Structure formats: C-alpha cells, structure tokens
Amino acid sequence: MKECFRIPTTGAFGDPIDENPSGAMMEAGFRSTGLNWRYQLFRVAACDLQDGLDGIRALGFSGLNLTIPHKITAVSYMEGLSESAALIGAINTILVKEGKLHGENTDGKGFVIGLRENGIFLAGKRLVILGAGGAARAISVECALAGAVHLTIINRTEEKGRELAALITENTSCTAEFIKWVEKVSIPACDILVNATNIGLYPDKSLPDIDYDTINQNMVVQDIITNPAYTPFLQKAGERGAHILDGQSMLIYQGALAVELWTGRKPDPEAMRMALIESFT
C-alpha cells in the first residue's frame, strides 16, 4: 500500500487570535489518539469569514474552530447544524464532511464538564452570567439543559441580554431574567457567577464593572478567559473568599469534544492540559 503524506489539517479562525493558546493543546489531543493531525491559527477578520470558509472547503480541512468575532455570524454559512447549536444560535466548531460544513457548539458542554470535574453539579443551581455573546449563549443553554433552575443574564447591550433570557425561559425548564449592566452593578444571590465577556482578555487588564462587595464565600466564581488564566476578576473574587475557577477546564473539554467529533476518537484531556500549561510558560 502507498504511504499517504497528506496530513489532515484543522485550525481556528478569529480576530484577535495571535495569543490563542489552543494549538499545542489540540495537537496534543490528536497525538493522544495516535493521530498526527495539524491545528493552525488563522487571523480572519469579520468581513472575510465567507472567503475563509470557502477556503477550508477548497483546501480539504477536516474541521475548524471559531472564536471572536465569528461564532454567531458563521451560523448562516452552515449547511447543517446540531440541535444544541441551533438552539444556541452560535457555533465554535465546524465538521467538514463530504465538502459540507456542519456547525456544532462544544463551548457550553465543555463548561459543564469542567464544572463537574471540579465537583460542581448544576442540578438546582442559580447562576449569574456576565455577557450575552456566543460563549454566554452556549453556557446558558447547556447549564439550563444540565438542570440549573435560574439564570440572571447581565449585559451591556439590552437587546442581546433580553433575547438570551427569553431563549432560556421559552426553550428549557430553567427560568431566566435580564439585568441591564449599569456602573457597579450588584450581583444577585447565586451559587455560580460567570464572567463570559472578553473583559480582561490579553492584552486588556481591565475588570468587569460590578460591585465586588456583592460576591461572597458561598459562591463559585468562574472566568472563562484563559489568557491570562488568573484574571484580575478572579483575583478580586478570591479576595472575597469565593471558590474561584479559571477558564482552562472549559477550554480543554470543549477542545476534547471537537477532537472527538473530527476524528471519532476520544483524546486524553490530561495530555491536553499538560500541553496547555506548557504553552503558557
């Protein structure tokens, strides 16, 4: 049998993307399944998304991840969507199958698995989510499907926040309300507070403008930003005694689910975690 020198290629589109740490982690995931696949980062501006997607189809990519600012706009270019991606209205993963683009969302599922791996289960929990973008939508839908009982969405743009709260209330057994983000907004009583905005994403060093005195030691506070892992937001929440969690486990498990979708093989999350930690040092 002739040897095949063509290496299956995958990657991610985003803008900004240069500081995205996923490459080494995803290739470690492939290696842990015995596959020598590639994962490349591509800086693709919002206005170039359609050309970029035509490109991956033409070049025979096996799969693609999407990050800011493409998660919501990419939905309209898909030829198929998973059920939860359709509900979320945003995708972070594309499977290219027989030249067709199928959209999936592994962000929220990765978030839920990450909490579970830290001993936190969503049944009966009340959450407050800062943000209503692609990641916030995925997290909200998957937490509601995993048994959370109430979500409070706090967002700067009223329309997006209201729409997300309505999506949850109308499509799941969880209730949701919207609070408009005002200066030093108070965090309502909850079990889990999540920063799902991009405030604090490298090189930004700013803090979500909330009243940090409304955070207490009974709360789990998670930032989904991974670069830096220990954000100023987590530092402030930690000072108030909250149980803090960084964005790494969500990143690892959303990536592991994408590797499985593209290859049909389950990667080793520990190998992915080690590669991620190494790429930060």
**Under the rule (CB under 6 A), what is the footprint of ligand NDP?**
68-69, 71, 107, 110, 131-136, 155-157, 160, 181, 196-199, 201, 224-226, 247, 250-251, 254
CA-angle at 218, arms to 215 and 220, nearest 5°: 75
Considering the complex, what minimum distance in angstroms separates the CB of residue 185 from ligand NDP? 10
If the CB atoms of residues 58 and 142 are measured against ligand NDP, the closer one turns out to be: 142
Q: Which is nearer to ligand NDP, 206 or 218 (CB)?
A: 206
Shortest CB 98 distance to ligand NDP, Å:
28
Which residue's CB is nearer to ligand NDP, number 136 or number 237? 136
User: Is 71 a catalytic site residue?
Assistant: yes
Q: Are 79 and 101 in contact (CB under 8 A)?
A: yes
Q: Are 181 and 159 in contact (CB under 8 A)?
A: no
Q: Which residue is nearest to ligand NDP (CB)?
A: 133
Q: Which position has the token pair 């998957």?
A: 142
Structural Rg of the chain based on CA atoms: 19
Between 37 and 181, name the residue whose CB sits nearer to ligand NDP: 181
Q: From the CB of residue 16, how many other CB atoms can be counted at a distance below 10 Å? A: 14
- Residue 135 labeled ligand binder: yes
What DSSP character marks residue 74?
Answer: G
> Is residue 148 marked as binding?
no
Which of 150/160 has CB closer to ligand NDP? 160
Q: Tokens in use for 114?
A: 């990450």
Q: How far is the CB of 265 from ligand NDP (least distance, A)?
A: 21
Q: Any binding-site annotation on 159?
A: yes
The answer on whether 160 is annotated among ligand-binding residues is yes
Residue 66 buriedness (CB in 10 A; 0-12 / 13-18 / 19+): buried
Of the chain, the end-to-end C-alpha distance in Å amounts to: 42
Cis peptide before 69 (omega within 30 of 0): yes
Rounded to the nearest angstrom, the gap between the alpha carbon of residue 113 and the centroid of all alpha carbons in its chain is 12
Give the torsion through C-alpha atoms of 149, 93, 199, 174, to 10 deg: -10
Residue 221 phi/psi, 5-degree rounding, is: -120, 120
CB of 118 to ligand NDP, least distance (A): 14
Q: How far is the CB of 59 from ligand NDP (least distance, A)?
A: 25
Q: Are strands 93-97 and 63-66 parallel, antiparallel or unpaired?
A: antiparallel
236 marked as binding residue:
no
CB of 253 to ligand NDP, least distance (A): 8
Which candidate in 71, 97, 100, 266 is catalytic?
71
For residue 249, what are its two tokens?
């486990």
270 is in an annotated binding site: no
Closer to ligand NDP by Cβ: residue 242 or 247: 247
Residue 244, marked binder = no
CA–CA dist 266, 245 (Å, integer) = 25
**Residues classed as catalytic:** 71
Residue ranges for the known binding site for shikimate are 67, 92, 107, 254
Residue ranges for the known binding site for NADP(+) are 83, 131-135, 155-160, 224, 247
